Amino acid sequence: MIDLQQLREFPDKFKASQRARGADESLVDQILAADSAKRATLTEFEEARAEQKAFGKTVAQEKDKAKKAELVKEAKGLSDRVKALQADSDDAANTFDALIAKLPNLIVDGVPSGGEEMSVTLRLEGTPRDFAAEGFTPADHLEIGERLHAIDTQRGAKVSGARFHYLTGFGARLELALLTMAWDVAQKAGFTPVITPTLVKPEIMAGTGFMGEHADEIYRLEADNLYLVGTSEVALAGYYKDEIIDLSGGPIRMGGWSSCYRREAGSYGKDTRGIIRVHQFQKVEMFAYVHQDQAEAEHARMLGLQEEMLNKCELPYRVLDIAAGDLGDSAARKFDCEAWVPTQDTYRELTSTSNCTTFQARRLHIRERDAEGRTTPVATLNGTMANTRWLVAILENHQQADGSVRIPAALQPYLGGMTAYGPEGPRY
């Protein structure tokens, strides 16, 4: 939810944001009209109800039976009018609520306009390997994973269906090592480790902004009216729902580890080979509650931690400033880090970090108290530290001509000192 007072005062800013997103800017005028109608009908209802209460005292004080009967009859008519006005007020409020729920967050100044293709590359880091110069053709991650008995998609499909997989042996250990290192990096940076629920209530899912245009990607358990999360961001955002939190000691930072589930609706035929786009994966996610004026600095800090992880994994990557049309509803700005995937000859997304300003906090009623004692919404931010997809980039970028995979130095302590893993097993 956006700042309604800001919308009333600066509607053109929201229209510009909608244009940048490629969204309907007329929604802003519809919301303002609905807001006016809501306030007008509420005022009329409250005035009529006050009149009804005052008239009720007059009826109660009347001693003459004949006059009292007339007053009772008049009171009945007034009561019917109050009920009708209340219904009008409720309808106007429902119309307003439905419209305001459709309006995505106001983008931050400087976000590129347009769709995905308009995202801006901020920088390239690292140099992709020249496999031709090394004298061999790189295998893709699934071929490597099957050779090393690390990834099994066939049995995953047999047991659970398409886009499910098993990680076995080295694959399982590599994922745990990666996520544990991510958790360690996050904890060192002040993020409290949290293992989160993976099922949440509808109001938590809606509060984080995931029930918009991408709602069809979410798994729902109809019998329980619960949703499976696609990121621990959802559970972490709901942690302080309806609470006033204390940020006097600085931001509240949490690092969530969870299984994540995505239906990947609308992506039929895309990345069906291997584990690039799957229905279930593991992820470590950063989440922070901060003062509104600290949000942009926290966003840059999260991006820096993501780049630290990419450097530890010795992966070439690029940083993108994501265009407005490719932002989720809750994000005011988002940076992606994409790692080089040799067999695809392109960069693929491994991390995102989003500044959601006060959008989620307003929906979830999460506030702080300022120096004057007033409550004000906090800002929330999130960012990936590592997930299952990272295995794709690690396996492909660090494969060797003899069929083994070299372990990046930073990961070696998390694998008992293992320096490489080949068909014959681990090397130390």
Check whether residue 146 and residue 79 sit in a common domain: no
pLDDT at 371: 83
Residue 346, strand partner residues: 341
Which one of 72, 100, 128 terminates a domain? 100
Strands 346-355 and 166-167: unpaired
Across 168-235, the runs of DSSP E, i.e. the strands, are 192-195, 199-200, 220-221, 226-228
Neighbours of 357 (CB within 10 A): 27
Check whether residue 249 and residue 154 sit in a common domain: yes
**Sign of the torsion angle spanned by Cα atoms 27, 32, 35, 41:** negative
Q: Are 125 and 310 in contact (CB under 8 A)?
A: yes
Q: What is the pTM of this model?
A: 0.92
Check whether residue 326 and residue 409 sit in a common domain: yes
pLDDT at 51: 84
Which of 179, 233, 188 lies closest to 411, judged by CA?
179
Region for 84 from its dihedrals, namely left if φ exceeds 0, alpha if ψ lies in -120 to 50, beta otherwise = alpha
Domains in the chain, number? 2
CA distance 181 to 265: 31
The answer to whether residue 140 is domain-embedded is yes
CA distance 185 to 390: 16
Check whether residue 54 and residue 193 sit in a common domain: no
Which residues participate in catalysis according to the annotation? 262, 277, 349, 352, 389
Which of 394, 380, 381 lies closest to 352, judged by CA?
381
Strands 252-261 and 199-200: unpaired
Check whether residue 180 and residue 79 sit in a common domain: no
pLDDT at 268: 65
pLDDT per residue of the chain (428 residues) written in tens, 0 to 9: 789 999 999 999 999 999 999 999 999 999 999 999 999 999 999 988 888 888 877 777 777 777 877 777 777 788 888 899 999 999 999 999 999 999 999 999 999 999 999 999 999 999 999 999 999 999 999 999 999 999 999 999 999 999 999 999 999 999 999 999 999 999 999 999 999 999 999 999 999 998 876 688 899 999 999 999 999 999 999 999 999 999 999 999 999 999 999 998 766 667 889 999 999 999 999 999 999 999 999 999 999 999 999 999 999 999 999 999 999 999 999 999 999 999 999 999 999 999 999 999 999 999 999 888 899 999 999 999 999 999 999 999 999 999 999 999 999 999 999 999 999 999 99
Which one of 74, 100, 126 terminates a domain? 100
Check whether residue 87 and residue 173 sit in a common domain: no
The answer to whether residue 11 is domain-embedded is no
Q: Which domain holds residue 353?
A: 116-427
> Which letter does DSSP use for residue 342 in this model?
G
Which one of 76, 100, 124 terminates a domain? 100
pLDDT at 59: 75
CATH of the domain at 269: 3.30.930.10
How are strands ordered across the β-sheet holding 317-321? 120-125, 317-321, 333-341, 346-355, 379-387, 280-290, 252-261, 192-195
The answer to whether residue 379 is domain-embedded is yes
The full length of the chain comes to 428
Terminal Cα distance for the chain, rounded: 53
Check whether residue 169 and residue 31 sit in a common domain: no
Check whether residue 122 and residue 268 sit in a common domain: yes
Check whether residue 209 and residue 68 sit in a common domain: no
